[in-house]
């Protein structure tokens, strides 16, 4: 069924979308709350990766009131493994703002939406267009690729000027009648058809007007200059245990990276320091205790968006002093089984799982 003017690129795109869009739970209706949750979860995350999290999250918090009334630890636990945890903390904080300042109803306009924690230009455009039909274009990585190819833009995609140009093109192209569907359609096209490698131009609704396709340059456009190499750190971690097998964990400050999550204390190795010395120094700085490093427990590699680490975890005992949370917000002694009750970042979760599997005995 043809639902839009089939002659313009936007019309062709809309018709393609209505026929080929994936059935996703957050597309079933236009509930602004669900659209907001899905848009936040989709940042830096693929659809197939986020779907199980989305389902669990909205089952636990079906309304903005449920989310606002939840405990932050519960929210972080449901987010565990999805990464970029500030998204979860901001969602939680914004839900309280919506309840307290907007009577529990998400505002419609882009400007008002941007007053909520964690909502920037991209997410406000997505929510206002998809849930409220405001003609605000969204530009994510998929849209950049589609439009750069469609218009034959060869400039470096990392440059702000190129991004600005693509944003202007999206603004000119967007359907005024169906802006939400248009935005979803172009993102869907980028995810399903105009993929980074081997785009399927033969089934693309934009091929008749696509510069990169017509000039056989889909391999060259878009151009992105190489990313800077991520720095690497060696991290020493202390798994402190007492004579009863209890383990000491620390909660990261809310405003830090991975804020609100729990971890085994530790930190970066300094030059000319052995990794055992790092563990000893870090645990003294973070907890005010002197420790004995007993034995290596596990070594892990892990990559974050801006750096990579090798984590060297050691089993330790306190030789003297009473531990205090000097750089964390809270510390706790917990049993091995209780480690499951706390949200941990991915790499630390591997340590808790190894401990629970008794790999250390
Ligand atoms: S014709 Fe090919 S390169 Fe152009 S937008 Fe469609 S899939 Fe992308």
Say how many C-beta atoms besides its own lie within 10 A of residue 71's C-beta: 9
In sequence order, the β-bridge partners of residue 316 are: 240, 293
Q: What is the pLDDT of residues 178-226, one digit of tens each?
A: 999 999 999 999 999 999 999 999 999 999 999 999 999 999 999 999 9
Q: What is the pLDDT of residues 133-165, one digit of tens each?
A: 999 999 999 999 999 999 999 999 999 999 999
Residue 125 CA to ligand 1 center (angstroms) comes to 24
CA distances from 154 to 143, 173, 273, 316 (A): 15, 19, 48, 55
Give the domains, in start order, of the chain with CATH numbers.
Answer: 9-214 (1.10.340.30), 232-356 (3.90.79.10)
Q: What is the pLDDT of residues 235-263, one digit of tens each?
A: 999 999 999 999 999 999 998 999 999 99
Residue 26 CA to ligand 1 center (angstroms) comes to 26
Q: Which atom of ligand 1 is nearest to the CA of 146?
A: 5
Residue 187 CA to ligand 1 center (angstroms) comes to 13
Q: Which atom of ligand 1 is nearest to the CA of 189?
A: 7
Nearest CA among 19, 14, 3 for reference residue 183 = 14
- Residue having the nearest C-alpha atom to atom 8 of ligand 1: 194
* Residue list, ligand 1 pocket, CB within 6 Å: 146, 149-150, 193-194, 199, 201, 204, 206-207, 210, 212-213, 218
Residues 260-299 as b or e (16 or more Cβ within 10 Å = b): bbbbbbbbebeeeeebeebbbbbbeebbebebebeeebbe
The catalytic residue positions are 39
Q: Which atom of ligand 1 is nearest to the CA of 205?
A: 6
* Percent of the chain residues topping a pLDDT of 70: 98
Cis peptide before 83 (omega within 30 of 0): no
Percent of the chain as helix, strand, coil, to the nearest 5:
45, 15, 40
């Amino acid at each position: 069924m043809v639902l839009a003017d089939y002659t313009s690129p936007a019309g062709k795109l809309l018709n393609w979308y209505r026929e080929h869009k994936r059935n996703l739970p957050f597309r079933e209706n236009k509930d602004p709350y669900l659209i907001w949750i899905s848009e936040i979860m989709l940042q830096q995350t693929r659809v197939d990766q986020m779907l199980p999290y989305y389902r669990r999250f909205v089952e636990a918090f079906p309304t903005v009131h449920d989310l606002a009334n939840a405990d932050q630890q519960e929210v972080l636990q449901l987010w565990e493994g999805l990464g970029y945890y500030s998204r979860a903390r901001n969602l939680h904080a914004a839900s309280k703002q919506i309840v307290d300042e907007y009577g529990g109803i998400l505002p419609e306009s882009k400007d008002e939406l941007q007053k909520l924690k964690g909502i920037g230009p991209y997410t406000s455009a997505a929510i206002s267009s998809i849930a409220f039909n405001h003609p605000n274009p969204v530009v994510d990585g998929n849209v950049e690729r589609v439009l750069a190819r469609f218009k034959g833009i060869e400039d470096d995609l990392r440059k702000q000027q190129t991004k600005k140009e693509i944003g202007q093109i999206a603004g000119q192209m967007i359907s005024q009648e169906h802006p939400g569907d248009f935005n979803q359609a172009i993102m869907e096209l980028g995810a399903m058809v105009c993929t980074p490698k081997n785009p399927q131009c033969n089934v693309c609704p934009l091929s008749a007007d696509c510069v990169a396709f017509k000039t056989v340059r889909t391999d060259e456009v878009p151009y992105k200059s190489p990313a800077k190499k991520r720095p690497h750190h060696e991290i020493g971690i202390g798994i402190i245990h007492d004579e009863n097998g209890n383990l000491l964990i620390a909660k990261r400050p809310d405003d830090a990276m991975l804020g609100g999550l729990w971890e085994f204390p530790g930190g970066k190795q300094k030059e000319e320091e052995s990794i055992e010395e790092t563990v000893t120094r870090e645990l003294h700085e973070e907890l005010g205790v002197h420790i004995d490093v007993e034995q290596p427990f596990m070594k892990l590699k892990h990559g974050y968006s801006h750096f990579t680490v090798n984590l060297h975890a050691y089993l330790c005992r306190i030789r003297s002093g009473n531990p205090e949370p000097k750089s964390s917000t809270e510390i706790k002694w917990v049993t091995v089984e209780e480690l499951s009750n706390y949200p941990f970042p991915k790499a630390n979760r591997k340590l808790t799982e190894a401990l629970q599997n008794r790999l250390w005995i």
